[in-house]
Structure 1
Amino acid sequence: MAEISILSLTTLLLFFSWSLSISNSLQDSVSYDKNGSFFTVSSFRYPKSQVRPYDTRYIRGLFISFPLILLYFMVMIFTSELCFCAVDLPPWFSSLNVAIESDVDISAKSVSKISKSLLPVICFRDGSPPLPDASTNALKALELGQLFNGSFEGGQDIEIAEQCYPMQKNISLRLTNEQISPGAWYVGLFNGIGATRTQGKMIVRSSAFSYSANITVEGCRTATMWGPSCNQTIYPLSCCRLDNQTGSMVSCSDSSPNSCLSGAETKTYALDVDGIAEQLVITASNLKVDSNESYLMCYARFGAIASETLHDYSGDIHKVALVINKPKAGRWYISTNSSSKVCFSVNVKVIGCPMGKAGPNCVQQLYMLQAVMRRESSTPFESYYLPVNDATPSGSSTGFPLKSDTTTWTYFLMNIPQGGAGGHIHFRLTSHSTTQYEVYLRFGGLPTVDDHDYYYVNQTSASRSTFFSLYNSSQEKIDFYILYAREGTWSLGLRKLSDSTPATTASKGPSTLVSLSLERCPRGCSSHGNCRYAFDASGLTSYSFCSCDRTHGGFDCGIEVVSHIGHIIQSIALIASNAAALFPAYWALRQREYPEWFLFTSSGISSGLYHACDVGTWCVLSYNVLQFMDFWLSFMAVIGTFVYLSTADEAVKRTIHIVVAILTALLALTQATRASNIIIVLAIGSLGLLFGFLVEFVTKHRSYCGSAGFSLNMLDRPRAVKEWFSKLIKTVKKRFRWNFVAAGLVVFTMAATSFKVETSSSYWIWHSIWHLTIYTSSFFFLCSKIAIVNNENQTHHGADSYELTRQDSLPRN
């Protein structure tokens, strides 16, 4: 226990020192412009990272303070839980600058020729991670934006936060507070998109790409100055709150009454709406105009400065008040301008309802939902939601009954915690009879029929958003997911279609049951995969994804990529094709070459066991062990064939086998599946064969080279070398059956080609051909060797014995 405490304190001190250095670097990075209107809040550089084939990386634009970094690591050390403490783009930020460098080299002409499953893609989204391939329909409807011309200004396309683009070598973006709102902002990097992105693959041949990123957040020094260049004055509003039993009202007015505007001037105000409100009413008082034709235009916008071209609501408050129903909670910006000189005072009222009430006249029910963490969950932020005053449901049910009410709307409020944007809202409504409700969801404010983010009316009328996923809904059940829901407050509205309820369902208990939860993977990956989670590049936000099996893909593993029959055929082909190892094993056993027999036999068996595990049939050992044995023994079998063809003695062969075993083991442990390995293995085998021949040559001819017969005069030496070379060619010809050598080379070329053209989709057929051809080529090469050297040795040895016998038979004196 004491050792653990000492270790924890030591780790804390190390993190403290590291965090202090980061804090100092951040302080050093703060810079001011020449006029002192804005400064660099934070500047981060994400180091060079690699995105492997079919992989995903998320970058979240953050502003992080030193105390929060320290708190994050303290919680990680002492609680062993995942905790996220980060401040997103602050309300007073002026711009966000993103510079991304990669080694992707794609031109406008080559984009159309590359399949989406192999195309590197970059996507942007405000509030939560992007997901371009959430469904088949979403992928079909996805239209990639045009390539950037080196840099990109956010004002060129206000919808950049919902777009995807082909990845480029250099991307530079500057998004101002006129284009994006304060909060979280995500960049998604995808190395291929589509159903096969999450499919379990036997092998991956696609290329990876690397990237690095710089993210800089600039802010305004003065709270009353804002805009991209921090040169727009924001006027405050003085507010007071009035609460009673019938509702609440926040009344705000211009702190500088009777202000005047000329024809070219604009005056901007900021207002914070706290919590859920029913109406935001903007009026003008104490008006003084030059002519009857004067107007006072008012523009309102949530989260960013309003203008004549960029606004959410507008109206002439000279004539009538501007009313915004069910405004979002957060900061609103109100801008005014006029065609002529006008003096006025701005008045704003935020009208709300008492606790638990909503809607016109505050007669509709509003329920606050509390999150209950799932105890059995191994992933962070998984929870289900219940009304605050309701008891925990009995049994395994996580739903709650919907109380009968005569009003048209019933609202629920739920909160997704910070760091939980990588989860999904799961809504279910079940009824004993036909459901009598429409469902509307909205982030930050109460939904209406006309103002909502997602909705479900019936099976034929529902949201077409990429992030809205409908499952198994019927007349009696509504079941859908909101994918990667942004963190914050969500409002759920149920709109009743009919007040009539069948009397026959009264005895069956509650007629309508509602279930609302935050899940990490939709439908538990459809029982065809495992739910996993990872972190964005900052390490402060988690997101979940499904890792599917060999036959399924898609974001929720709900797409059948390979049919059941097709999977059986692929499995049989990959496993049974290893029977070709019997050909070289049989020949080696017949020639009493027991090491080669054992090598080919074990190679075929290990390959069959590996592929049986790889296709999901049976794993006799762990997957990594079987994969290593398969590649290692395959490499050994190829090189062992070359070594067998050499005529070196057994001591030399043993040495070559030891060296080859070490080299091939390294190949099998480091990127065993790369296509260049076949060239490396072929080169090692050729070197082993050549080394064996050189050893034999040196051994047999060193005595000849030093003999008197070789010390000829200068005229006879060329003739001697020519005769020696001719004799060498004849010896090589006699060593091999060249028809088998030719057949082995042809089949080996087929094996190398099949290994090279393997892809994730065609792996099973080409790798089965690889099994057949590589073992068959080894068989041909083994058959090509002629055991003439031993015969020659025996012949020479017999002649020598005969000569000695003849000499011994001479009469002795």
Structure 2
Amino acid sequence: MAEILFLLLRTLVVFSCALSICNCLQDAADNNGNFFTVSSFRYPESEVRPYDTRYIRVDLPPWFSSLNVAIESDVDITAKSISKISKSLLPVICFRDGSPPLPDASTNALQGLELGRFFNGSFERAQDSEIAQQCYPMQKNITLRLTNEQISPGAWYVGLFNGIGATRTQGKMIVRSSAFSFSANISVEGCKTATMWGPFCNQTIYPLSCSRFDNQTASVISCADSFPSSCLTGAETKTYALDVDGIAEQLVIMASNVKVDSNESYLMCYARFEAFASETLHDYAADIHKVPLIVNKPKAGRWYIVISLSGRENRFAQGTNSSSRVCFSINVKVLGCPVGKAGPNCGQQIYILQAVMRRGWLTPFQSYYFPVNDASLSGSSTNFPLEPIVSNFSSIPELDTSTWTYFLMNIPQGGSGGHIHFRLLSDSTIQYEVYLRFGGLPTIDDRDYYYVNRTSASRSMFFSLYNSSKEMVDFYILYAREGTWSFGLRQLIDSNTPAASRGSPTLVSLSLERCPRGCSSYGQCRYAFDANGLTSYSFCSCDRTHGGFDCSIEIVSHQEHIVQSIALIASNAAALLPAYWALRQREYPEWVLFTSSGISSALYHACDVGTWCVLSYNVLQFMDFWLSFMAVVGTFVYLSTAGEAVKRTIHTVVAILTYSLRG
């Protein structure tokens, strides 16, 4: 009897395990049926030379679900050895959303960069700002998976650096560090159905029916759910997608016809830009049962709206009652202004800037920007006056006496390897504050970069301020991401000051450049392509005494450079000793060889340090190597006991072989 019971029990266990395996396989098949591989790339093994950089760009479509990255390298670094390696020699990997990463854009950014921990393979509970710029020591194996809950569609970059710091761009005669090699597998998965999204493409996205109304004073887009009424029970959620086209002033999300069966029901709304919203990851949240959710100056693009019965912050008040039911109708409005207007009352001016390619420049994406109807388009000027087009009055005079004037510029696809250069010029004190934002209009509190005065400006590593004063504002946005950028110029106006005495005219200069300040006149601007070969990026190659991203950091002073150059050139005087000895011994061939070797080496080093080049650099370099090698061979041949005929033969053969190897 016991054996029969044991047999039945074992059969039941085997059946349960088989049923569980079938369910798991069925779930996996269902999940795999929801998404497909949008793109898959394998980058073969490549070498990153000392102080070199490699960028990998990944394009994420709007319907992507996840990004998978696997990188293998021959870097052998342990957690204990990181602190012993200088940053200038440490292989580093960086991630950035929108444009290429640049960990050593400034001295402050480099000092604040923490590289004492390895990448653990996830960005769990990380916000967008944390994912956008992260750097880690290079490892043998790095595996990464990011979902549409963590990053937004668009361009995403991986940067590989073999050493970072000011010396990365410095010109070097001798490189003492080593190279490393890597290979990468990158795949992007997307959802098959347009109405399904989320990390596993298993969450339904409900469309909104929209209608547009325009007049001379405002532009209103009204949207509503296709179903007159929706109901939620317990932990259920409902997700909507809304596309905001162009510049808008407000996004208003409301709930109407709300019917509840409990006084403790909460109708929470979570909104997020271009990424899936949730209780833990969202840009805006509100209980729309009580008040509408208002987003001022929303960015242009897709917004995801999630409606749930209760939020985490309300569950303690609601208790564990999961039978509550709420029915509602969702209403969304996008409020805008007529063309050329902006602000709460549509009283501010907004101008679209047109790109004008620079004359005589073969490097791509070199252009100036002007208002579309500006006369400078036909002239040679690189700036335009601000006062004729500036806004004349405040949108809310009772709250803010300042005026805003907005400019929109577009960086084309593939242009994220360039830099935005903005300048304000005036003969008197500039009375404007500058605010920048990507994708939407900036405000004092909601902006990506800003400049108020020399003591109040952005501290971002991608914001580079140059020679700004009371009469001039001059800054760069490094590696600006492609798309629409908004510039807001805020002018502080004293109503008691006559317009004629508010200062001299102000000129605006806005351009897209490849290298900041032309590499500060201490280097050459060069450009390269990412691993795909489709996107170009620019960088500076500095001289022997300067470094940094823009060659503005003096690594070796002018006096030190002179001393080092003299010492290097004078060191070739050591060839005088063997030449003098050969002359005394009347060994005239050896005397000519030692003398020529010393002279050619001195001429080569004089050219190499930038003093004077009597011939081309390549010719001098070859002569230095060839004659030095011949001098060494001649010394050993002279000390040998071979006959004169054999010695002459060896000299001739070595000379022919070394010269033939020149090519």
In structure 2, how many angstroms separate the alpha carbons of the residues matched to 1:181 and 1:658? 68
Question: Counterpart in 2 of 1:778?
Answer: none
Name which of 611, 619, 622 aligns with 1:617.
611
Question: Counterpart in 2 of 1:751?
Answer: none
Could you list the structure 1 runs, at least 4 aligned residues long, displaced by more than 6 angstroms after superposition: 31-34, 666-669
Is the Cα–Cα contact under 8 Å of residues 99 and 215 in structure 1 kept in the other structure?
Answer: yes
In structure 2, how many angstroms separate the alpha carbons of the residues matched to 1:178 and 1:465? 25
- Cα deviation per residue 1:129-176 (whole Å; 9 max; x = unaligned)? 011111111111112262134xx1332544233111111111111111
Question: Counterpart in 2 of 1:326?
Answer: 297
- How far residue 290 of structure 1 moved from its aligned partner, in angstroms, is 1.1
- Cα deviation per residue 1:714-766 (whole Å; 9 max; x = unaligned)? xxxxxxxxxxxxxxxxxxxxxxxxxxxxxxxxxxxxxxxxxxxxxxxxxxxxx
Question: Counterpart in 1 of 2:226?
Answer: 255
- Cα deviation per residue 1:432-480 (whole Å; 9 max; x = unaligned)? 2111111100000000000000000111000000000000001111110
State the one-letter code of the partner of 1:356.
G
Q: 1:33 to 1:666 in 2, by over 3 A?
A: farther
The worse-fitting range, judged by mean Cα deviation, of 394-403 and 48-57 is 394-403
Question: Counterpart in 2 of 1:454?
Answer: 449
Q: 1:659 to 1:218 in 2, by over 3 A?
A: farther
In structure 2, how many angstroms separate the alpha carbons of the residues matched to 1:554 and 1:521? 12
In structure 1, how many angstroms separate the alpha carbons of the residues matched to 2:80 and 2:631? 44
In structure 2, how many angstroms separate the alpha carbons of the residues matched to 1:298 and 1:585? 88
Question: Counterpart in 1 of 2:331?
Answer: 347
The worse-fitting range, judged by mean Cα deviation, of 168-177 and 649-658 is 649-658
In structure 1, how many angstroms separate the alpha carbons of the residues matched to 2:113 and 2:499? 44
Q: 1:115 to 1:325 in 2, by over 3 A?
A: same
Is the Cα–Cα contact under 8 Å of residues 32 and 38 in structure 1 kept in the other structure?
Answer: no
| 2:381 counterpart of 1:410 | no
Residues 248-327 of structure 1 mapped to structure 2, 5 A cutoff: 248-327=219-298
Helix, strand or coil at the partner of 2:345: helix
In structure 2, how many angstroms separate the alpha carbons of the residues matched to 1:290 and 1:480? 58
| 2:71 counterpart of 1:100 | yes
- How far residue 395 of structure 1 moved from its aligned partner, in angstroms, is 6.1
Helix, strand or coil at the partner of 1:565: helix
In structure 1, how many angstroms separate the alpha carbons of the residues matched to 2:576 and 2:301? 73
| 2:52 counterpart of 1:55 | yes
Question: Counterpart in 2 of 1:371?
Answer: 355
Q: 1:638 to 1:349 in 2, by over 3 A?
A: same
Question: Counterpart in 2 of 1:788?
Answer: none
Helix, strand or coil at the partner of 1:281: strand
Q: 1:145 to 1:260 in 2, by over 3 A?
A: farther
Residues 750-789 of structure 1 mapped to structure 2, 5 A cutoff: none
In structure 1, how many angstroms separate the alpha carbons of the residues matched to 2:133 and 2:562? 41
- How far residue 32 of structure 1 moved from its aligned partner, in angstroms, is 8.7
Question: Counterpart in 1 of 2:318?
Answer: none
Q: 1:90 to 1:662 in 2, by over 3 A?
A: farther
Question: Counterpart in 2 of 1:467?
Answer: 462
Is the Cα–Cα contact under 8 Å of residues 432 and 505 in structure 1 kept in the other structure?
Answer: no
Helix, strand or coil at the partner of 2:124: helix
- How far residue 418 of structure 1 moved from its aligned partner, in angstroms, is 0.4
The worse-fitting range, judged by mean Cα deviation, of 385-394 and 291-300 is 385-394
In structure 2, how many angstroms separate the alpha carbons of the residues matched to 1:138 and 1:652? 64
In structure 2, how many angstroms separate the alpha carbons of the residues matched to 1:659 and 1:365? 80
- How far residue 394 of structure 1 moved from its aligned partner, in angstroms, is 7.4
Helix, strand or coil at the partner of 1:369: strand
Helix, strand or coil at the partner of 2:488: strand
Aligned-residue identity in percent: 82
Q: 1:133 to 1:34 in 2, by over 3 A?
A: closer
Is the Cα–Cα contact under 8 Å of residues 155 and 175 in structure 1 kept in the other structure?
Answer: no
Q: 1:587 to 1:611 in 2, by over 3 A?
A: same
Q: 1:270 to 1:394 in 2, by over 3 A?
A: closer
Residues 395-794 of structure 1 mapped to structure 2, 5 A cutoff: 396-403=380-387, 404=390, 405-407=392-394, 408-499=403-494, 500=497, 503=500, 511-661=505-655
Q: 1:582 to 1:187 in 2, by over 3 A?
A: same
- How far residue 665 of structure 1 moved from its aligned partner, in angstroms, is 5.8
Question: Counterpart in 2 of 1:153?
Answer: 122
State the one-letter code of the partner of 1:268.
T
The worse-fitting range, judged by mean Cα deviation, of 305-314 and 35-44 is 35-44
| 2:142 counterpart of 1:171 | yes
Is the Cα–Cα contact under 8 Å of residues 376 and 383 in structure 2 kept in the other structure?
Answer: no
In structure 2, how many angstroms separate the alpha carbons of the residues matched to 1:35 and 1:525? 50
State the one-letter code of the partner of 2:372.
V
In structure 2, how many angstroms separate the alpha carbons of the residues matched to 1:529 and 1:33? 57
Is the Cα–Cα contact under 8 Å of residues 250 and 351 in structure 1 kept in the other structure?
Answer: yes
Q: 1:33 to 1:545 in 2, by over 3 A?
A: farther
Is the Cα–Cα contact under 8 Å of residues 299 and 311 in structure 1 kept in the other structure?
Answer: yes
In structure 2, how many angstroms separate the alpha carbons of the residues matched to 1:596 and 1:45? 57
State the one-letter code of the partner of 1:346.
I
Q: 1:336 to 1:661 in 2, by over 3 A?
A: farther
Helix, strand or coil at the partner of 2:94: strand
In structure 2, how many angstroms separate the alpha carbons of the residues matched to 1:458 and 1:485? 22
In structure 2, how many angstroms separate the alpha carbons of the residues matched to 1:466 and 1:540? 26
Helix, strand or coil at the partner of 1:392: helix
Question: Counterpart in 2 of 1:733?
Answer: none
In structure 2, how many angstroms separate the alpha carbons of the residues matched to 1:448 and 1:385? 22
Helix, strand or coil at the partner of 1:305: coil
Helix, strand or coil at the partner of 1:332: strand
State the one-letter code of the partner of 1:521.
C
State the one-letter code of the partner of 1:190.
F
Is the Cα–Cα contact under 8 Å of residues 603 and 637 in structure 1 kept in the other structure?
Answer: yes
Helix, strand or coil at the partner of 1:154: coil
Q: 1:437 to 1:566 in 2, by over 3 A?
A: same
In structure 2, how many angstroms separate the alpha carbons of the residues matched to 1:650 and 1:371? 75
State the one-letter code of the partner of 2:362.
S
State the TM-score, normalized to the length of structure 2.
0.89
Helix, strand or coil at the partner of 1:99: strand
Name which of 120, 143, 153 aligns with 2:114.
143
Helix, strand or coil at the partner of 2:600: helix
Is the Cα–Cα contact under 8 Å of residues 32 and 40 in structure 1 kept in the other structure?
Answer: no
Helix, strand or coil at the partner of 1:153: coil
In structure 2, how many angstroms separate the alpha carbons of the residues matched to 1:366 and 1:120? 45
In structure 2, how many angstroms separate the alpha carbons of the residues matched to 1:665 and 1:116? 41
- How far residue 663 of structure 1 moved from its aligned partner, in angstroms, is 6.3
| 2:159 counterpart of 1:162 | no
Higher RCO (CA < 8 A, seq sep 6+): 2
- How far residue 639 of structure 1 moved from its aligned partner, in angstroms, is 2.9
Is the Cα–Cα contact under 8 Å of residues 60 and 153 in structure 2 kept in the other structure?
Answer: yes
Larger Rg: 1
In structure 2, how many angstroms separate the alpha carbons of the residues matched to 1:190 and 1:35? 36
| 2:239 counterpart of 1:245 | no
Helix, strand or coil at the partner of 1:54: coil
- How far residue 33 of structure 1 moved from its aligned partner, in angstroms, is 7.2
- Cα deviation per residue 1:474-499 (whole Å; 9 max; x = unaligned)? 11111100000000000000111224
State the one-letter code of the partner of 2:259.
K
State the TM-score, normalized to the length of structure 1.
0.73
Is the Cα–Cα contact under 8 Å of residues 145 and 163 in structure 1 kept in the other structure?
Answer: no
- Cα deviation per residue 1:179-217 (whole Å; 9 max; x = unaligned)? 111000011111111111111112212111111111101
Is the Cα–Cα contact under 8 Å of residues 393 and 400 in structure 1 kept in the other structure?
Answer: no
Helix, strand or coil at the partner of 1:570: helix
In structure 2, how many angstroms separate the alpha carbons of the residues matched to 1:571 and 1:35? 66
State the one-letter code of the partner of 2:122.
E
In structure 2, how many angstroms separate the alpha carbons of the residues matched to 1:227 and 1:620? 67
In structure 2, how many angstroms separate the alpha carbons of the residues matched to 1:278 and 1:439? 19
